[in-house]
Structures are given as C-alpha cells and as structure tokens.
Amino acid sequence: MTRRYDPDRRGRIIDAAIRVVGRSGIAGLSHRTVAAEADVPLGSTTYHFASLDELLIAALRQANEGFAALIGDGGRLAGPGADVATTLARLTGEWLAGERTGVELEYELYLAALRRPALRPVAAEWTDAVSEILSAHTDPTTARALVALLDGICLQVLLTGDTYDEAYAREMFGRVLLGGGSGPREGAAAPGGDG
C-alpha cells in the first residue's frame, strides 16, 4: 500500500488537539481522541508527538500566537507617542470580544502549565513576547507588570462572566505606566462595573 503524502498532517493534529481541549478540557485529551478528531490513524499522532506533553506544547505555542499577534500586528503600538494604556485596553477588548471559547482555551492551555512543568517554558514565551512589545514604550519591569494586570483582568472577565470594562482597563494600565496612583479618578468605574 502506498503511503499518502500529507504535509499538513502535523498541523491538523495540533488543530484537532485544540478542538478536543476546547470541547472536553485537558482531561479529555489523548492520542486516541486527537486522532479521531483529526481523522488520522492513531500512529500518526504518536509519530508526530511522542507524548501528550509534546502535543500540548505545540497546541499552547499555537494558541499563544493570538494576543501577541494582535498587539504586534501592523504596529498598533508603534511610534513614540502611542497612548499605550488606551491602545492596550482597546486591543484587550477586541481579543475578549472575539470567539470566547478561543480565549478560554488559550487560558486553559496556559494554566495547564501549573500541573505540567514541561509547558512552563512555553507559557513563559507568551509573557516574554507581549512584554517585549510593551518594553518599546516603558521599562521591562513595568512591561511585565502590564502583562500581569492584563492576565488578571482577562481571567476576572472569563471567570465572572462580567462584561469587559475598557475604561477601567485603560485606567489601570495607565496607573501601572505612571508608577501607581493615590486613588481612582473621579467617575472611574470599579472592576466589573457598568462603566
């Protein structure tokens, strides 16, 4: 029997793994479930990914590209006069307004690194990539603080189901960029508020 040339098979397996995790969580991921989802022989998944950790690393790396690509795309934060707080708050809103299951999946894979040490370097790649983009506008420590705040805001929105409050995010990003503040501006919305 002639083996069919299938150069995209590895990519299809990664896409299938992402769909499986999106539908069934990390616990539902196995070589068998991914092979069925990708419509490939079981041996193909183990050929391309010897372990589930290897498959999860590839899935996380692909999922990581979402937000970093969004803020790096087209120089949205380019130029020395860019309003970083406003732009970052708007882009975070765009990301959260996209397919919610996709954002949830990215965080599920990201947080899987808590229990799977092999994923930690890949999870750190996301933080490093976004921090590097933001470091063009501030010092590296503040850039990492912005990423931590961004993660916190996104996780709160995902966990509570609250509507993303762009004005609140802009205010908080601005405070980090300014090195802190002594209280909310008059009229600033509280987390999860109506704005």
For the chain, what are the domain ranges?
1-50, 64-195
- Over residues 28-50, the mean pLDDT reads 94
Q: Which pLDDT score, from 0 to 100, does residue 100 have? A: 72
- Closest CA relative to residue 55, chosen from 7, 5, 6, 19: 19
Token pair in block for residue 154: 């996104």
Please give the CATH number for the structural domain made up of 64-195: 1.10.357.10
Proportion of the chain above pLDDT 70, given as a percent: 83
Distance of CA 117 to the CA centre of its chain: 18
| pTM given for the model | 0.74
Token pair in block for residue 97: 């307004």
Please give the CATH number for the structural domain made up of 1-50: 1.10.10.60
Whose structure tokens read 């590839």?
58
Is the pLDDT at 66 greater than 80? The verdict is no
Q: Which pLDDT score, from 0 to 100, does residue 33 have? A: 96
Is the pLDDT at 78 greater than 90? The verdict is no
The confidence band for 41, taking pLDDT boundaries of 50, 70 and 90, is very high
36: helix, coil or strand?
helix
Asked whether 143 and 135 are in contact (CB, 8 A), the reply is yes
